[in-house]
Amino acid sequence: MSGGEVAGMLVAVFWAILVSFLAVALARLAQTLRATTKLVADVTDQAVPLLADASSAVRSAQTQIDRVDAIASDVQEVTSNASALSTTVASTFGGPLVKVAAFGYGVRRAISGRKDDEAPARTTPRRTVIVGRTVPAARRDKRKKG
């Protein structure tokens, strides 16, 4: 065999090895593409129901939030009504009750026959009630002096 024939044969063997290598690489690439396609199809099959469930959960949460908002609005309305009622009752009955209590005290004092200089000895400081709150005697005395 001559040198040209050997070189041609080496080139043919090299091409045969290269084609074989490329065929194996293409076969593996095709197998990888098939596996990837199957994986994507499986993920899609599982993701669609999960997305539907998530969408349903979001809708349910929105419904619950709307209900809570309605309840909070009703509670706010009831609170404002109770406040208005409390103010009305206090203004309607507060003044007359204080007057009745003062009248009752005056009547008891007149019936018992006490005079202003016969004030009973007190062990605790006297307090004055001013429409729903008590003022200590020390503060009351400061107000009278000033």
pLDDT string in tens for the chain (146-residue length): 677 788 888 889 999 999 999 999 999 999 999 999 999 999 988 888 899 999 999 999 999 999 999 999 999 999 999 999 888 888 887 788 888 888 888 888 888 875 554 555 556 666 665 665 555 566 555 555 55
What three-state secondary structure class fits 135?
strand
Residues in the chain: 146
| Distance of alpha carbon 101 from alpha carbon 48, whole angstroms | 76
Task: Using the Cα atoms of residue 127, residue 133, residue 139 and residue 142 in order, give the sign of their dihedral.
Answer: negative
